[in-house]
Amino acid sequence: MNYPRLMLASAALMITQAAFAQSSVTLYGVIDYGLNFVNNAQTIVNGARTGRHQYAMSSSIMQGNRWGLRGAEDLGGGYKAIFVLESGFDVGTGNFQQGGDLFGRQAYVGISSPYGTITLGRQYDSVVDFIGPVTGAVGNGTYSLHGNDINNFGNTYRVNNAVKFTSNTYGGLRFGGLYSLGGVAGSFGTNSIFSFGGSYGFGGLTVAAAFLKARDPNRSFWGNNVNSSSTASNLGSISGVQVNPVYGGFASASSYQVAGAAVQYTFAGAVIGANYSHISFRDLNDPASGNLALTNPRGYTGNASFNSYAAFVRYALTPFLWVNGSYDYLTGGAIQGKEGAKYHLFNAALDYFLSKRTDVYFMADYQIASGTDSTGQPAVASYLTITPSSNAHQVVLRVGMRHLF
Q: Alpha-carbon distance 188 to 48, whole Å?
A: 46
Run of H or E residues at 139: helix 137-140
Which residues of 285-390 form beta strands (DSSP E)? 302-318, 321-332, 341-353, 358-371
Interval 13-49: pLDDT, tens: 444 444 444 899 999 999 999 999 999 999 999 888 8
Q: Count CB atoms within 10 A of the CB of residue 313.
A: 16
| pLDDT score at 269 | 93
| pLDDT score at 336 | 95
Q: Alpha-carbon distance 285 to 293, whole Å?
A: 10
Q: Alpha-carbon distance 141 to 324, whole Å?
A: 10
List per-residue pLDDT tens for the chain, 405 residues long. Answer: 444 444 344 444 444 444 444 899 999 999 999 999 999 999 999 888 899 999 999 999 999 999 999 999 999 999 999 999 999 999 999 999 999 999 999 999 999 999 999 999 999 999 999 999 999 999 999 999 988 999 999 999 999 999 999 999 999 999 999 999 998 888 899 999 999 999 999 999 999 999 999 999 999 999 999 999 999 999 998 888 999 999 999 999 999 999 999 999 999 999 999 999 999 999 999 999 999 999 999 999 999 999 999 999 999 999 999 999 999 999 999 999 999 999 999 999 999 999 999 999 999 999 999 999 999 999 999 999 999 999 999 999 999 999 999
Q: Alpha-carbon distance 120 to 156, whole Å?
A: 20
| pLDDT score at 360 | 98
Backbone angles phi, psi at 41, to 5 degrees: -125, 135
| pLDDT score at 22 | 86
Q: What is the pTM of this model?
A: 0.92
Interval 146-199: pLDDT, tens: 889 999 999 999 999 999 999 999 999 999 999 999 988 888 999 999 999 999
| pLDDT score at 187 | 87
Fold of the domain built from segment(s) 23-404:
Porin (2.40.160)
**Mean pLDDT, the chain, integer:** 94
Closest CA relative to residue 286, chosen from 210, 215, 198, 223: 215
Q: Alpha-carbon distance 306 to 283, whole Å?
A: 15
DSSP 3-state of 354: coil
Q: Count CB atoms within 10 A of the CB of residue 216.
A: 23
Closest CA relative to residue 190, chosen from 287, 108, 269, 51: 287
Q: Alpha-carbon distance 298 to 281, whole Å?
A: 15
